[in-house]
Amino acid sequence: MTRVKYSRTGSATGRTGSRYWRSKSDYLGVVPFSLFVGLFLLYPTLNVVTGAFRNQKNELSTEMLFQLFHSDITRRTFMNTVEISVKTALIGAILGGLFAWALATGRTSGFFYRFSVALSSVLALFGGIMLAFAFLATFGFNGLVTTFAIKYLPNTFFAEPAWLYEMNGMVVVYTFFQIPLMVLVFLPTIENLRPQWREASDSLGGNALEYWMRIGIPVLTPSFVGAALLLFVNSFSAFATAYALTNLSNFLIPLSIGSALSNEIGGANPTEAKALALYMIIVVIIVMTLYALLRRRVSKWEQTR
């Protein structure tokens, strides 16, 4: 008898129906998202991973993976890619972190703050052909600054723009979108530093150095490193900017993949592209695992604030 009475009471939201399906129907809203992720992320990834273990005749084989692993060219390309990613992640994280700190300690309701945050959101996505062209037109061999420098500052590096087309030039170009991304990712963390901590430190007799060494830096480090890892991955997989800046497909792994896919002179080799992509996925998985572990630490204190 009690059971019948219970079922008529209905739920607090006034909805009726099976209790089992009521809770499950909430998941329906996620279906489009899972479909999207499945179709455009998981399926292609699976395709790449399985494809990497085949040879040109589509038979199961680890030939291509071995061949690339032992190829000096591929190794150098991989080291180039890692080098540019590490450099731009470090430079981006440090400069972007400092900028975020400057923003957070300033007037957060001011025009400059809002302007900078908005600008960062735009510039973080300002990669690819446009960015490369902007740099070519400014610092390239026949760029605006270069033409000016050749006339008035002939002995500076502005007048010798060969650097733009080399590793360090590409690092400079990449940091252009890395710094704004760092600001976006790191700003919330800095803003979560509570002033009470500083006050507590001060009232216990600590000076600024002690505050930063014992409270500020330890608290910020996990987020900082996490953000730097994110920047690493961002640069690791960047394609369009490098593609516009250089013709050398052996320079970076994403360029090699592009060349293996759309080769016009008989060098097209989807298996090679997939095997290279698999190696990239492995690097990204390692980095993202580190990132997830760090986030867990960060979340601990971010949630308790």
Partner 1 sequence: MKLTKFAKVSIVAVISFALAVPTMGGASAKAHKFATAQNASQAGGMSGLIKGCKAEGVLNTIALPHYWADYGSMLAGFKKLYGVKIDEANPEASSQDEIDAANINKGTNRSPDVFDIGLAVAVKYKGTGTFAPYKSKLWKYIENSASGDGEYTPNYSGTMTIGYAGSLGTITKVDDLLEPRFKGKIALNGDPLGSSAGINGFYMINKAVGGTFDDISKGIAFFKKLKDVGNFINVNPTEATIASGQTPVVIDNGYVQAGVQKKFAAAGVSWKLFTPALVGSTYNSAVSAWAPNPACARLWMEYTLGEAGANVWAIGGAVPTLWTWLLKTRRASKEGIASAGTTRISAARATGAQTLAARAILKTAWPAAVGS
- Work out how close the CB of 205 gets to partner 1 at its nearest, in angstroms, rounded to a whole number: 51
Q: CA end-to-end span of the chain, whole Å?
A: 48
Partners of 60 in beta bridges: 54
* One-letter amino acid for residue 137 of the chain: A
By CB under 8 A, the residues from 218 to 247 that bind partner 1 are 243-247
140 binds partner 1 (CB under 8 A): yes
Please enumerate in sequence order all residues whose Cβ is within 8 A of that of 32, keeping only pairs 6 or more positions apart, or say none.
none
**Cβ pair 224, 93 in contact under 8 A:** yes
- Work out how close the CB of 101 gets to partner 1 at its nearest, in angstroms, rounded to a whole number: 34
- Work out how close the CB of 169 gets to partner 1 at its nearest, in angstroms, rounded to a whole number: 8
Write the binding mask 141 to 170 for partner 1: x where contact by CB under 8 A, - elsewhere. Answer: xxx-----------------xx--xxx---
265 binds partner 1 (CB under 8 A): yes
259 binds partner 1 (CB under 8 A): yes
d(CA 175, CA 167): 12
Considering only 1, 4, 12, 28, the residue that binds partner 1 (CB under 8 A) is 28
From 99-107, 108-116, 132-140, 284-292, give the range in contact with partner 1 by CB under 8 A: 132-140
Per DSSP, 29 falls in state G
Q: Classify 56 in phi/psi space as left (phi over 0), alpha (psi -120 to 50) or beta.
A: alpha
Q: Name the H helices within the chain.
A: 2-9, 19-25, 31-37, 43-52, 63-69, 72-105, 111-123, 128-139, 144-152, 167-191, 195-203, 208-211, 217-236, 240-245, 253-261, 270-303
Considering only 215, 225, 240, 248, the residue that binds partner 1 (CB under 8 A) is 248
Q: How many residues at the interface with partner 1, by CB under 8 A?
A: 40
Considering only 53, 113, 133, 279, the residue that binds partner 1 (CB under 8 A) is 133
* One-letter amino acid for residue 115 of the chain: F
Considering only 9, 29, 204, 304, the residue that binds partner 1 (CB under 8 A) is 29
Write the binding mask 177 to 216 for partner 1: x where contact by CB under 8 A, - elsewhere. Answer: ----------------------------------------
Partners of 54 in beta bridges: 60
**Residues at the site binding partner 1, with contacts judged by CB under 8 A:** 13, 15, 25, 28-29, 31-32, 35, 39, 73, 133, 136-137, 140-143, 161-162, 165-167, 243-251, 259, 261-268
